[in-house]
Structure 1
């Protein structure tokens, strides 16, 4: 039977590679647990070359020849940035090029009885021969073995991969790959079992023949499941089923699948035959300080923010394949995914292109089973046309997956359409021009085609959490204008804005401090005012939203006051009280925003609420109503002052490091608030963070609040107990919370 050994603990990291790491057991490096980054970096104004190293990793694997007799030992790296050469007892398995997808080696024949040195020479420089590199790119690719590693013990005949998805007609389609290391012809029986939770739905058996001279054999699967227990996977009912594959030698693997149909047409996007307007944002998988090196819990939390806090139905994994944990969570919660190959504008030489085509193959083979993935991105983001190259990427995708369409994200008009869906980065809107370009103007075709906007706003209007209110309002308006225009256009499948979270980048991009402030959330996953554009579109049966787009200050705007006041809400109407006197009752501006289910409320109150010249600034209260009942309320003080630090953890219980397992982590958010809990956006004082117990702080222990916020992550160690976190500022009372570790 198969045995999976998590191989994430007891790695020794060497910041500089030397050949002794291959053959000698060394103790002069740093003991680390995966996921790992080669260097933690500050948030602002760092030297990005700090993460461009040629470094080394070493671990010891104890091999018992008797225990593992007639077994094969595989090692699986889920990702390492950017080129990894793996050695076992000094013997090389060659260099794997590419930082976003897994690679597996059969290391059996290089093992000896007892301790074996497994080492990795990791080149994290921006090599011109590996996508996405070759020119400047607007994001960082952080060095490190930043995803997990497993040792997999299997029989000489074993299951290598399950590439199966479910269709709405209850068919399962795809293939199963079998590894034959026996080097003999063999007959084998594959059993496919489908489970609805613990209930067994059906079993399918297939007899196969394996040839001695073929290491891998792909078995095509196209079978019908006749069961009344199959529910379709959808964004509101993301039903998943366990599909288990086994061999006669009891080797067993499983994946989670959903049954659904997805289709982009000239009329829009359809899920299970129902037309759905796609509304989403792009996501970079990077985090403060540690870059890509975040564990399962934190990866899944990003998906939760996008689905439940922002109310999105799609995310684009810009500009590379995402963590399997993130994709698993998208499957679980009904968040659709546009997944694409690594790249940004630049196309390299023929060898570079060959590697990119290999990325298409590896991405689809790893992620084929994910119900959430609805389209493959097979073009280098914002690149020029290249007929032969993109013909090959599309052919590769269609050969591997006949159930999903392809897209290719471009920014030039009239670009050749080789994909199934014309996917366009539309940055037309500058506050004056039309919010989006006409489809036929973009495509230069005389007919409509399947069409989706894949970026907008972003660099056209970067906005910081602590920016002035007028900029925050304009940022919000621009997002409203674009999603409204997309909603009105019946021939656009939807749009995916740039972007969800601010992110670190190279010096030549963003604001010069190594951050692109393009998100509707900041780099720490805290919401800017523009996030209300998306959250306000959540069905009010799921969440009531009342988000006034203001910080409420008499003299913050150029003309003073807070009029006109925009309120992002899914309420029927709102009432505004000034000094406890009703000043306005207003309904959503549905005439202006005709495409939106929940248009924002816009209140003009120049007459009723004084501006900058009035010295008697008063308190304000906004109440949202549904069916005539008050369901939400927001208050503002006329004289806010710093009264407290709110401190909140995403999770109050995390896991300790077990032998072989990854570390666990949770985010803690600190917010400076006034007497009634409103964030103070312009406070920039330092706080002191103290962490004790069974964990440690990631990043800075003496940061400055930005926009009234600061968030940080704590990570577990290998002991059970608790992590005590205390946050201090001399103006307010210290705050302490406790995270259980078990």
Structure 2
């Protein structure tokens, strides 16, 4: 019988406490509510809440059937992520436990189940969501929240007694015309007698055409067996690049007596990735890394967002923000997010859980297990180019970090390691010196017309090493200049100038591989961090993924061939800035020139400030002097972007903005009823020129009908004229209709089609 995977995402019962009686199958349902996965133990307010409110012990229960045809197979319950301690019971008996909320684990339930078509088995999961000091990242203070619950997928897995534990497919000779592929296979054998099996490996292209195949006959007599299959002389293989991320599927199959007994597949890409003292090289081509850090958290639901929402974050980073790298701060993130990074060509720096604190030897053992679990889970992803094997911003700990680094190289000898630090001259065991550099902004942000005395430190003064090494800036900005999307215009502009300055400085330094800004999205945090409302406003976007001015610094670095960008960093108001006016006016754009017209007056063409930002592919246009008088005339404005002398994009601003339209958009209109699904909606109050009214906090009512559920409240205030929200499916097909209303304005109704293929 071949491998069988049965998703377990529906029909869970949840209680916000735990009692031994919950292990009994005939326990009353009065204490429980029905939920589906992914799930958070407590839906939180947007801000101003007590983070202790989700830190409690809870219980998840679900009945399930094990079909008779699975008898004789090994059975596992696979958990992708439970925060932060889980103890698993099957039919009243403890089957296993796991410490740690960010890596997967499996519980063997073979000896505990009852077979039959009826749901006679009871799965109970005790979840401890407190910040236990024996589990990374806890034990000290951490600047982010670790929301409780079973927040990733759970499934029942049935495999034969001799089955594939893992595969690792490593492309070789990538730079040659004829390439090779080494496939390492780990096999578990639980029968007591030796067995002869055939192992085959095949590679398929994106059109599902088989490109090569290799098989080998082996005899297994030990519980754990490893072998390597080498496929060479592969021709016509296309490289995985950030522009064209070509993916291949490797499939490993076990054969017994001529029949397939087990199959495991993984997607891979043929590419080389190397951090060097001269920069980062992908397939031998130097690429300036320009990225952002990402927390996997969302309003209300915390970590508990399904596949589509995880993938959308990758799309936002790549296509809206235009970055080429993301750091998964500060923990391994959703496999769906990483899958999407593979598909779209977004480079990834993935690291283990932690924030400054290092615990005792038992704590360190769990951290090393995090290294192991992270790498085994994710080493086939071509998007991942660096492993983070040091607790973020932690002090030196010689034996611990020698151990994590050695473990990473043992599990994946083909990728480099890094360890994010914030102290100078720390011990260096990794391959890449990864450093958080918050120099710029320590004493405020200089105006654009000034020359910053210090933007970034030199590599040698940070490392203290005599020689140059691969060097990557992994954080900057962030807490040096927290900025709300509804802040006064000057602060938003200075926030953007911070990112402009650092990315420019990093690009001009040949000893730096690049810079990853802190951070992509605002995030909830503990009371001893952030702005007092449990939010760190460090993102270039807010928690709803709505852009601040700094987002356009990154978006404008996209090639104009992808799409033209023209974003004047202004609300175009006469008196929002100190003294008044909008000068100096920074325009983030990838256009060759920008024409600025006020009323009927053409102020002329303005060009990118290459002299100020020579390191950027597309420096901003900066207009220093603009007439504007408090209480004087203020006319409509038009900005027109030109590429190769041709007008290609226009932005209009109204001198007297008036609420005109309530806009409602959704990221996707086709959803699934057969798996957990959710989609983001964005509501905006617009003026007559189509621009957001940036200080509106009008109360909006969300109206929802059909087989969907709103995440968060139905009545919400706009935040700076905009608000996002998510709708999740409930496992039923149909049409969801959603609209928004505030005062006399009502948005159009949007229809979401929820389909079932079963």
TM-score tier, shorter chain, comes to over 0.9
The aligned residue for residue 190 of structure 2 is 181
Q: Is the 8 A contact 2:555 2:565 kept in 1?
A: yes
The aligned residue for residue 651 of structure 2 is 634
State whether structure 2 residue 440 is matched by structure 1 residue 423. no
Q: Is the 8 A contact 1:25 1:117 kept in 2?
A: no
The aligned residue for residue 4 of structure 1 is 5
State whether structure 2 residue 247 is matched by structure 1 residue 236. no
The aligned residue for residue 22 of structure 1 is 23
Q: Is the 8 A contact 1:165 1:371 kept in 2?
A: no
| Distance in 2 separating the partners of 1:263 and 1:173 | 19
Deviation at 1:370, TM superposition (A): 0.3
**TM-score scaled by structure 2?**
0.95
- What secondary structure does 2:202 align onto? strand
Deviation at 1:732, TM superposition (A): 1.9
Gaps of 5+ in 2: 446-451
1:569-718 matches, cutoff 5 A:
569-606=589-626, 609-612=627-630, 614-656=631-673, 658=674, 661=675, 663-718=676-731
State whether structure 2 residue 260 is matched by structure 1 residue 253. no
1:384-463 matches, cutoff 5 A:
384-430=395-441, 431=445, 432-463=452-483
Q: Is the 8 A contact 1:645 1:672 kept in 2?
A: yes
In the alignment, which of 452, 461, 479 is matched to residue 499 of structure 2? 479
In the alignment, which of 588, 604, 613 is matched to residue 568 of structure 1? 588
1:655-689 alpha-carbon deviations (Å, 9 max, x no partner): 11x3xx4x211000001110121011101111111
| Distance in 2 separating the partners of 1:261 and 1:486 | 23
Q: Is the 8 A contact 1:688 1:728 kept in 2?
A: yes
The aligned residue for residue 523 of structure 1 is 543
1:533-552 matches, cutoff 5 A:
533-552=553-572
Distance 1:681 1:180, change over 3 A: same
- What secondary structure does 1:207 align onto? strand
Q: Is the 8 A contact 2:133 2:139 kept in 1?
A: yes
1:86-118 alpha-carbon deviations (Å, 9 max, x no partner): 111111123200101111122111112341111
| Distance in 2 separating the partners of 1:227 and 1:446 | 42
The aligned residue for residue 364 of structure 2 is 353
Deviation at 1:229, TM superposition (A): 2.5
Deviation at 1:733, TM superposition (A): 3.2
| Distance in 1 separating the partners of 2:640 and 2:739 | 35
State whether structure 2 residue 80 is matched by structure 1 residue 78. yes
| Distance in 1 separating the partners of 2:292 and 2:621 | 23
Deviation at 1:174, TM superposition (A): 5.3
The aligned residue for residue 312 of structure 2 is 301
Deviation at 1:171, TM superposition (A): 2.8
1:200-239 matches, cutoff 5 A:
200-212=210-222, 214=223, 216-221=224-229, 223-239=230-246
1:46-65 matches, cutoff 5 A:
46-64=49-67
| Distance in 2 separating the partners of 1:486 and 1:224 | 41
The aligned residue for residue 448 of structure 2 is none
1:41-72 alpha-carbon deviations (Å, 9 max, x no partner): 001101111111110111112134x4223212
What's the RMSD between the two structures over aligned residues?
1.2
The aligned residue for residue 449 of structure 2 is none
Q: Is the 8 A contact 1:580 1:620 kept in 2?
A: no
| Distance in 1 separating the partners of 2:143 and 2:42 | 20
| Distance in 2 separating the partners of 1:155 and 1:319 | 36
The aligned residue for residue 280 of structure 1 is 291
Q: Is the 8 A contact 1:584 1:603 kept in 2?
A: no
- What secondary structure does 1:703 align onto? strand
Q: Is the 8 A contact 2:183 2:201 kept in 1?
A: no
Deviation at 1:266, TM superposition (A): 0.6
| Distance in 2 separating the partners of 1:292 and 1:365 | 22
1:501-526 alpha-carbon deviations (Å, 9 max, x no partner): 00001111100100000000000001
Distance 1:171 1:611, change over 3 A: farther
| Distance in 1 separating the partners of 2:80 and 2:352 | 16
Moved over 6 A (4+): none
Q: Is the 8 A contact 2:569 2:587 kept in 1?
A: yes
- What secondary structure does 1:344 align onto? coil
- What secondary structure does 1:718 align onto? coil
Deviation at 1:535, TM superposition (A): 0.4
Deviation at 1:206, TM superposition (A): 2.6
The aligned residue for residue 163 of structure 1 is 168
State whether structure 2 residue 193 is matched by structure 1 residue 193. no
The aligned residue for residue 334 of structure 2 is 323
- What secondary structure does 1:409 align onto? coil
| Distance in 1 separating the partners of 2:161 and 2:290 | 47
Q: Is the 8 A contact 1:584 1:605 kept in 2?
A: no
Distance 1:684 1:433, change over 3 A: farther
